[in-house]
Amino acid sequence: MIGLFTATAQGKKAAASLSLGPDAVLVDGPVKPALQRLWPSLGTAVFFMGAGAVTRLVAPLLENRRDDPGIVCVHDGFVIALTSAGNVLATEIADTLNITVVPTSDYVGESPLDEIVESLDTAIDGDIAACGAAVLAGDPIRLLNPLGFVLPDMPANLQPDNYGTEWTVMIDDRLPALRPKGKLLRLIPKTLVVGVGSSRGVTQEAVRAAFALLESEHDLDPRAVKSFATIDVKADEAGIQDAVADWGFWHGEDDGCTPPITIHTAAELAAVKVPNPSTTVADELGTASVAEAAALLTARELGGRVELAAPKTSSANVTIAAARILPD
């Protein structure tokens, strides 16, 4: 519901001139009790009075950015959004009345996008400072979150159905199949565990070539890797160790961090149900899977719900697979 509140005849006239859709209601009677009564059902509250009076009315009712309605006041030739959730409607009202809009932000810090980076531990691909400035300015931004990560409170101008915008924010561990028009900011959460198995004496080059298939064959972003995993009898393979260190050098972001290698026994891996078991591997190592089982088991230990992001894929004497840690 959009509630229109006013205590003057002039305010009622201005409110009546707006066409804000069937959800808009011009509220009669004293403003304060009506506001308290309707507050739980309001999407936006529009006041035709000064910002100081509005602030005193709504302050006792505000709880948090996620649940509070947008707050807009129309007064003396200005439409002022007192909360960022009111920015979009404030702009619409200003356009209709041909007066000046004053958007706002109720976020603390350089950018609300920084909260996503911190909460999801993401790598950054794009100009986050410029995109954050656009968010704070109230510009419509398209926000794509296909894996369904739980996000902190975000401004109302970040929406998945904002098409044709200058900026798109994409939160995903996969490379985009189609790059959207305009400017793109990719936030890449560390969600992937890569399982690896190999023959004895495998070279670093062979393992590195297998790792590259995650990107070229499965469209997984290398910066999303949180951990590697293998079986204990392969833990001392220099080719695996060196390839993982090389991966960390190229994809560890600014800190050059190398993902750890988690080691499992054959018995632990044999207990993991996998889609592509091998009787040959079972006869040799005592488990029907190394790459898929190690990836899935480690991902479960790190995050709970998992899925196979890349099934068993072989290159020369190396087999790799990737599991994804799913949002809670």
Per-residue pLDDT tens digits for 88-147 = 899 999 999 999 999 876 665 557 788 899 888 899 999 998 898 888 888 999 999 999
Across the chain, the runs of DSSP E, i.e. the strands, are 2-5, 24-26, 44-47, 70-75, 78-81, 100-102, 122-125, 141-144, 158-159, 167-171, 183-189, 192-198, 225-231, 261-264, 306-315, 318-325
176 and 204 both lie in a single domain: no
Q: Are residues 156 and 45 in the same domain?
A: no
More confident residue, 273 or 129: 273
State how far the Cα of 249 lies from the Cα of 36, in Å rounded to an integer: 57
CATH of residue 31's domain is 3.40.50.11220
pLDDT of residue 154: 81
Do the domain assignments include residue 107? no
Q: Residue 45: what pLDDT?
A: 95
How many residues are present in the chain? 328
Residue 109 has a pLDDT of 54
291: closest CA among 268, 262, 320? Answer: 320
Tokens 């007066």 sit at which residue?
A: 99
Residues 203 and 314 occupy one common structural domain? yes
Does one domain contain both 96 and 49?
yes
Same domain, 273 and 307: yes
267 & 241 share domain: yes
Q: Which domain holds residue 25?
A: 2-102
Q: Do 160 and 199 sit in the same domain of this protein?
A: no
Q: Check which CATH number belongs to the domain holding 249 and give it.
A: 3.30.420.180
- Which of 75, 102, 129 is the C-terminal boundary of a domain? 102
